[in-house]
Amino acid sequence: MTYFKDDQEVYQYLGQLFLDLLADEELAPKFRAANTIVQYCYHNPESQITVKLMAAQEGQVDLGPTRLEPEVVMTMDADTAHRFWLGKVNVTVALARGQIKAKGPVAKILRLVPLTKPVFPRYKAQLQAAGRGDLAEV
Amino acid sequence: MTGFADERQMAGFKDFYQFSAPTRVIAGRDLLASAGFEFAKEGARRVLLVSDAVIRATGLVDRVAEGVTDGGLELAAIFDAVPQDSDGAVVAQIAALARETGADSFLALGGGSVMDSAKVANLLFTHGGSAREWEGYYGLPRADDGAGRALELAPLACIPTTAGTGSEVSFAAVIKDREAHVKYQIGDFALIPRLAILDPAATLTLPPALAASTGMDAMTHAIEGYVSRDWNAHADAYALHALALIHANLERAVHSPADESARGNMLIAASLAIVPTTSGALGIAHSLSHPCGALYDVPHGVANAINLPGTIEYNAAGGDDIAARYRDLAELLGLESAGEVGQTLADHIRGLVVSLGLPTRLSQVGVTEAGIPALVEGAMGDACTLVNPRVPTAEDLAELYRRAL
Ligand SMILES: [Fe+2]
C-alpha cells in the first residue's frame, strides 16, 4: 500500500507543497539561495517534480515532464518524500540506507534540510484542508 | 526516527544506525616488502601503483614496487604525478593508464590526495563516466535495479604515508574542481579499499609539520565522530580508542620522527578515527574547515586544529546531553574538569596545537574578516553541519570564525 494512488495525487499534494513554498515571501528566498535546479524522481507511483531554485530568478515548479535541466537529482519512493515532509525521515539516515539516492552537488540540497522544519506542520494542515487527513497519519 | 531540528539523541539505545568497517588491515613493521603477497589475497594480479613525486623522491615507490613483484604480482605501471589536491583530470588520466596497461587493480601509496585519486580512478575504470558525474553519496551502481548489493570495483589497496585522513579505510573521496574552485565528495560503500597496509616505514620521511596537521585531522575525526548526532555504539569504540592512541602518541610522533612506535600508533589511530564517518558521524569543525581549504588553501588538518576548540565550546554549551559526551572524552584524556567541560577540553586542545607548532588563528593562515560571509556560506551548506549535535545558525558560524581569526 502506498500513500498516493497515482502521479496526479503526488502532484496534487507534494507538488502543491512546492508551489506554496515558492510563493511564500519569507521561505522562498531562503530556498532559492540554494542556486540550483533539483529534480525529485519518485517511484511508486512513478512521478517527477523539478524545482528551480535560483537566487536571482523566480522559482519554478514543473510537475511531470520538464524542460529544466536538473543539477541535483534525488530519487526516492513517493512514500519517503511524503514522510519527509511530515517530519518523519532523517535525511542522513535515509541516504545511508539507500532510501534516498542523491546525484550531483548534494550539499546544495542538504543545506535546505534545516529550513524544512517549519514546513512540516504546513504540509499536514494542507492535507487536512484537502480532506486527506488520512495521509497525515504515518 | 526523527526529523532534523533539535530532536537529537546523544545517549541510550538508538532507533537506527548503520555501521561498516570492511577493510582488511595489516599493521606492523617491514610490511612494504610484502605488499604484493598481501594484495594477491584480494584478487590483484596486475597492479597500477599510484603515488606522487614527493613520495617517489623518498624511495618509497621503488620499495613498494619491488614488494609488489616479489609477491608474484605484475606491475602494470607506476603513476607518480598526483597533485596536492586531486582533480577530475588526474583521475581520468589514471583510469586511462590502467586500461592501456591492462591493470586489474590499484595500489595507492601516499596521503589523502593519492588515495582519493586511486579510489575515484578505480570508479571510472570500473563504471566509466567522469568524476564529477559521480558526485554525491551512495549513488554508485547496485544490483537489482539499484536496490541490491553495491557492485564491486576493482581491488584497491592503500599504503598511507600520512597519519591523518584515514582514507585507506573510508567510504569517501574528495576531488577538486579547479574551474569551479570547489571540492566535491563521492561517497559509497564500494569505494572502501579492500586492504590497508599500516607500516610506520611509510611515514618516517613525513616532516613534523605535516605529521602535526594530519594528526590533528585524525583527532578532529575522533572527537567529532564521538559527539555527532550520528554517533553510534560501534563507532564510539573506534573513536574512543583512536583518541587514546592520539593522546599517547601524537606529540612524540611529531617531535621524534624516528620514533617508529609513535608513528606506527598514529597510523593506526588515524585509521580508527575515520571509521565513525562512514556512519555519517562528524560535525561543524569540519564544516568550518572545508571552506577554509576551498577558498584560502588552508591545509585541512591545520584548519581543523584551529576550528576544533571553538566548536567544542559552542557545542558543549548546547545542552547537558552534548556536554556529557565531551565529559567522556575529557576523562579519557585525564583532564580535571571542575568547571565547564567544553572550556577544559578546548583549552587542552589549544595547548596541544601550540606544542605541535601549528598555527592557532585563522588570521595566521591568510583568512580575513572580510572573507567570513563567503566562509559561512560554505559552512552552512556543508553536509557535516547536518550531523552536528547543535543546530547552528549562520550567525553562530560567523561568530565562530570571528573568534578564531
Ligand atoms: Fe577531516
What spacing in Å lies between the alpha carbon of B36 and ligand 1's midpoint? 29
**Sequence-ordered list of residues with C-beta below 8 angstroms from that of A117, at least 6 positions apart, any chain:** A87, B3, B4, B5
The grid cell for B148 is 541490491
User: Who's near A48: CB < 8 A, 6+ residues apart?
Assistant: A39, A40, A41, A42, A63, A64, A65, A66
Asked whether residue A94 is domain-assigned, the answer is: yes
Q: Quick check: is A138 in a domain? A: no
Residue B391: its chain A contacts at CB < 8 A?
114
A43 touching chain B per CB within 8 A = no
Does A111 fall in a domain? yes
Assign residue A66 the CATH number of its domain. 3.30.1050.10
What separation in Å is there between the alpha carbon of B300 and the centre of ligand 1?
7
The mean pLDDT of B189-200, rounded to a whole number, is 97
C-alpha grid cell for residue A103? Answer: 546525484
Asked if B145 and B251 count as a contact pair (C-beta separation under 8 A), the reply is no
Cell of A63: 510537475
Q: What does the pLDDT read at residue B149?
A: 85
Ordered alpha helix ranges (H), B102-193: 112-127
Q: Is A114 on the interface with B (CB under 8 A)?
A: yes
Within an 8 Å CB–CB cutoff, is residue A89 touching chain B? yes
Give the distance from residue A91's alpha carbon to the nearest chain B alpha carbon, in angstroms: 8
Q: What is the pLDDT of residue B1?
A: 33
Closest residue in chain A to residue B393, using alpha carbons only: A114
Alpha-helical runs (H) found in B128-232: 208-226
- CB A95 to CB B142 under 8 A? no
CB nearest A92 (choices: B142, B280, B381): B280
Indicate whether A1 belongs to any domain: no
Query: Mean pLDDT throughout A58-77?
Result: 93
Question: Does the global pTM surpass 0.95?
Answer: no
Burial (Cβ within 10 Å: 0-12, 13-18, ≥19) of residue B389: buried
Query: What is the pLDDT averaged over residues B371-394?
Result: 92
Which among B341, B196, B176 has a CA at the least distance from the CA of B274?
A: B196
Residue A20 has pLDDT above 60, yes or no: yes
Per residue in B89-142, pLDDT tens? 999 999 999 999 999 999 999 999 999 999 999 999 999 999 999 988 888 999
Count of C-beta atoms within a 10 Å radius of residue B357: 12
Domain, as residue range, for A25: 7-130
**pLDDT surpassing 90 at residue A1:** no
Does any domain span residue A85?
yes
Asked casually if ipTM beats, i.e. exceeds, 0.90, the reply is no
Contact B139 A105 (CB under 8 A): no
Element containing residue B110 per DSSP (H, E): strand B105-110
Q: Is A30 a member of any domain?
A: yes
Q: How many CA atoms lie within 13 A of B347 on its CB side?
A: 9
Q: How many domains does chain A have?
A: 1
Q: Does residue A87 belong to any structural domain of this protein?
A: yes
Average pLDDT, chain B: 94
Of B198, B177, B194, B197, the closest CA to residue B186 belongs to B177
- Residue B46: strand pairing partners: B74
Domains in chain B and their CATH numbers?
A: 24-202 (3.40.50.1970), 207-404 (1.20.1090.10)
From first CA to last CA, the distance across chain A in angstroms is 12
Distance (angstroms) between ligand 1 centre and the Cα of B219 equals: 9
